[in-house]
Chain A
Amino acid sequence: MTPTFKGRSILSINDFSTEDIIEVLEAAKRMEASKDKGSLLHGKIMASLFFEPSTRTRLSFEAAMHGLGGSVVGFADSGVSSVKKGETLADTTKMVERYADVIVVRHPLDGAVRLMAECTQKPVINGGDGANQHPTQTLLDLYTIKKCQGRITDLHIAMVGDLKYGRTVHSLAMALAKFKCRLSFVSPSQLRMPSQYLDALRSQGTSFEEFGKIEDVIGDADILYMTRIQRERFPDVDEYNKVKDAYILHKGMLENVRSNLRILHPLPRVNEINTDVDGTPYAHYFEQAANGIPVRQALLALVLGAKL
């Protein structure tokens, strides 16, 4: 049965079945190819409620809506909203639903967007809730992988960096497990993938291994998904200094890689991918960011029931 997205909130990748994910990726492909979508959401209003700062997510959602002929209202900083006056999230939601057809939210508290979705009949899209979920990032990562590799199944995907606190790698690993990919986790011992996710992968029969160095996996990977290691995650600066250089990718490390290797990063990067990698055929992170537009356009159209 074709999944029905009309009116549905997009809150967590864990709410998505395999069929749901495939439907979104196919809709994003149609969206990207379409030359005739400029008024698909004409007359529709998207509320863009960013309770904490974001560059890529907010701009790409707003650009996505404008590109489909819809309009955008909202705020990019909770300091200017009535939240500062003590309004509850429930009241904010009940007010905003009267102004908009779809509500996009980023919020610093885990679970805040699901709570808001429970207060309205209008579809709510999670643009990131604290350390919990960022489902549109996961979907655009999956779309990017499928687009650059020609498939999403049976790939070897290596994730590098802060695997303990990084919500993007948690969600992506869970989603890739649905597609029989082989996963490699490369991190310092302090920042390993949490056992709750490893247990979930084991119970699904997903093949995975943990490593300490990028060199252990790079020759055999189809996708290298880089993330930033933040100094503040280490209680001791010396500990940080010991490990940080091992997780910096530079051009010299790309000599014996597969020709189809693509390097992804959710951005912003600081120094974990040296700029000398940018000019190689393997660098794919800016294309990945660009894919945020068709994926978010697909989601907006699906939840608003627009046919492409």
Chain B
Amino acid sequence: MTPQRPYKVYAIADGVVIDHIPAMRALQVLEILGVHHEDQPVDAIVTLGMNMESSKRGRKDIVKIEHKELSKAELNKIALIAPEATVNIIRESIVAEKFKIAIPAVFDGVVQCPNQNCVTNHEPAKTRFLTLATKPVMVKCHHCERVVWQDEIRLLGPR
């Protein structure tokens, strides 16, 4: 067994740390949060760690974003990409809140139906998916009733 390598990331005074993201999915999380967009605060530090060693699950990703608060909609999206992630809210340099991501019972306007013949891919309609199982995540399209497994889940792009 290889010894654990030390790593160092900037401590943040205020923001959010999303830990235990499945390895190599951090970029998807950043995409959901839109932190690559130019309208982010210019002084915010974003730290990204990918494929890091984890005692619990072998490898993991982690992201730290300064001056960021997560909305419910963002948490719901992250739940689909990283259902076992942990969220740490940092205020005044201490962990003010820490919680595991929860899978909501319903995803409204989050998931794109992979069924090309689903009405939501043809008509102006908000998609709705119902959670059938959480480990692994399995959801069902409320409209066409297609069951979608975690690996098939695609998020809707910004509209």
Q: Interface with B: A57-65, A130-138, A139-147, A251-259, which one?
A: A130-138
Known: A130-B117, A131-B117. A109 touches B122 (CB 8 A): yes
Known: A89-B119, A130-B117, A131-B117. A111 touches B145 (CB 8 A): yes
Known: A12-B145, A114-B142, A114-B143. A109 touches B125 (CB 8 A): no
CB-contacts of B50-101 with A (<8 A): none
Known: A88-B123, A88-B124, A109-B122. A14 touches B145 (CB 8 A): yes
B117 surroundings in chain A (CB, below 8 A): 108-110, 130-131
Pick from B123, B124, B145, B147: contact of A112, CB under 8 Å? B123
Q: Mask for A14-29, Cβ within 8 A of B = 1, else 0?
A: 1000000000000000
- Tell me whether B143 and A110 are in contact (CB under 8 A): yes
Q: Mask for B144-155, Cβ within 8 A of A = 1, else 0?
A: 111100000000
- What is the CB-to-nearest-CB distance from B109 to chain A, in angstroms, rounded to a whole number? 14
Tell me, in angstroms, the Cα distance from A12 to B141 when the chains sit together: 13
B118 surroundings in chain A (CB, below 8 A): 109-111
A2 contacts B by Cβ under 8 Å:
no
CB-contacts of A1-21 with B (<8 A): 12, 14
A12 surroundings in chain B (CB, below 8 A): 145
B134 contacts A by Cβ under 8 Å:
no
Q: How many residues of B contact A (CB 8 A)?
A: 16
- Tell me whether B147 and A196 are in contact (CB under 8 A): yes
A115 contacts B by Cβ under 8 Å:
yes
Tell me, in angstroms, the Cα distance from A277 to B146 when the chains sit together: 37
Pick from B115, B125, B147: contact of A115, CB under 8 Å? B125
A129 surroundings in chain B (CB, below 8 A): 119, 144
A131 surroundings in chain B (CB, below 8 A): 117
Pick from A88, A90, A110, A196: contact of B144, CB under 8 Å? A110
Summarize B's interface: helix, strand, loop or mixed. Answer: loop
Known: A89-B119, A130-B117, A131-B117. A110 touches B124 (CB 8 A): no
Q: Please, which residue of chain B has its CB at the minimum distance from the CB of A196? A: B147
Tell me, in angstroms, the Cα distance from A17 to B145 when the chains sit together: 17
B147 surroundings in chain A (CB, below 8 A): 196
- Tell me whether B123 and A110 are in contact (CB under 8 A): no
B125 surroundings in chain A (CB, below 8 A): 90, 115
- What is the CB-to-nearest-CB distance from B140 to chain A, in angstroms, rounded to a whole number? 9
B131 contacts A by Cβ under 8 Å:
no
- Tell me whether A89 and B143 are in contact (CB under 8 A): no
- What is the CB-to-nearest-CB distance from A89 to chain B, in angstroms, rounded to a whole number? 5
A114 surroundings in chain B (CB, below 8 A): 119, 142-143
Tell me, in angstroms, the Cα distance from A115 to B126 when the chains sit together: 10
Q: Mask for A89-107, Cβ within 8 A of B = 1, else 0?
A: 1100000000000000001
- Tell me whether B115 and A110 are in contact (CB under 8 A): yes
A109 surroundings in chain B (CB, below 8 A): 117-119, 122-123
Other than the given A111-B118, A111-B144, A112-B143, 12 more pairs (CB < 8 A) read A88-B123, A88-B124, A109-B118, A109-B122, A110-B117, A110-B145, A111-B143, A112-B119, A115-B123, A115-B143, A130-B144, A133-B145
Interface residues of A (CB under 8 A from B): 12, 14, 88-90, 107-112, 114-115, 129-133, 196
| Shortest 5 CB-CB contacts between residues of A and residues of B | A111-B143, A110-B144, A111-B144, A111-B119, A112-B119
Interface residues of B (CB under 8 A from A): 115, 117-120, 122-125, 141-147
